[in-house]
Chain A
Amino acid sequence: KNEVEQSPQNLTAQEGEFITINCSYSVGISALHWLQQHPGGGIVSLFMLSSGKKKHGRLIATINIQEKHSSLHITASHPRDSAVYICAVRTETSGSRLTFGEGTQLTVNP
C-alpha cells in the first residue's frame, strides 16, 4: 500500500463545476504539497500546508492532520484547469524529501 493515496484517479467535469480531489496518507507528516502537472509535463507547486486551509484564486486546499487527509477544491472549473494534480507529503522522518501520490487526471470539458 502506498503511503500516499489519491482519489479519484481520473475525473471528468463540465466547465463551471465544483471539483474535489482527495489525498490520504498513512504516516506522520510535517507538510503536504499539492502540485499541478500540465499536459506538456511541467510541474507547478500550488500549495504547501501543514494545517488548516489555504486559498489561491479558485483553488482551495484543506488538511485534517488527525484524519490524515487533504482535499484540493477547484471552484468554477475551466478547461484550462485540465491537468494532473499530485499530492506529495514530507514525512516526519524523511527530512525534506517528498513522497508522491499517483496523481489525479482532471479533464474539464467546455
Chain B
Amino acid sequence: DSGVTQTPKHLITATGQRVTLRCSPRSGDLSVYWYQQSLDQGLQFLIQYYNGEERAKGNILERFSAQQFPDLHSELNLSSLELGDSALYFCASSVALTDEQYFGPGTRLTVT
C-alpha cells in the first residue's frame, strides 16, 4: 500500500458525460501527479500540482481539468467523454517537486 488513495476504483459511463476522479496523496506529500494509461498510448503524464498550484502540464486535453485543494487532495474532471477516454487513470504523489513518486491504485474508466 503506497498510501495514495484514489476513488472510485471503477467507473462506467456513457459518451458525452462528465466524471470526477479523486486522489488523496500520502500524508505529508505536497505534489500530486495525474497519469493516463491507455492500451494504445501507454502511460502519459497529464498534469502536476504542487501545494495547490499547477506546476506542469502534459498531454492533457482541453476537456480535462484538475485542481488541488487546500487539504492537498486532488480531483481530475473529465467532460464530454469519448470512447477513446477509456483508460486507467493514476494519481501519484511526492514530498517535493522531484522526489520519488508513489502511485495510487488507479481508477479504471470505461466509456460506452
Contact = CB atoms under 8 A, between A and B. Distances in A.
B101 interface: yes
Interface residues of B, number: 26
B56 A102 contact: no
Nearest to B45: A97
A39 interface: no
Contacts, number: 57
B42 A98 contact: no
Nearest to B2: A44
A76 interface: no
A86 interface: yes
B98 A33 contact: no
A106 B20 CA distance: 33
Interface of B: 2, 31, 33, 35, 42-45, 48, 55-56, 58, 88, 90, 92, 94, 97-103, 105-106, 108
A34 to B, nearest CB: 11
A109 to B, nearest CB: 25
B106 A41 contact: yes
A88 B35 CA distance: 13
B108 A41 contact: yes
A43 B42 contact: no
A90 B31 CA distance: 15
Contact of B42 (A94, A96, A97, A103): A103
A98 B37 CA distance: 13
Contacts of A103: 42
16 contacts: A30-B98, A31-B98, A41-B108, A42-B103, A43-B90, A44-B2, A44-B103, A88-B43, A96-B97, A97-B48, A97-B56, A97-B58, A98-B101, A99-B45, A100-B43, A100-B44
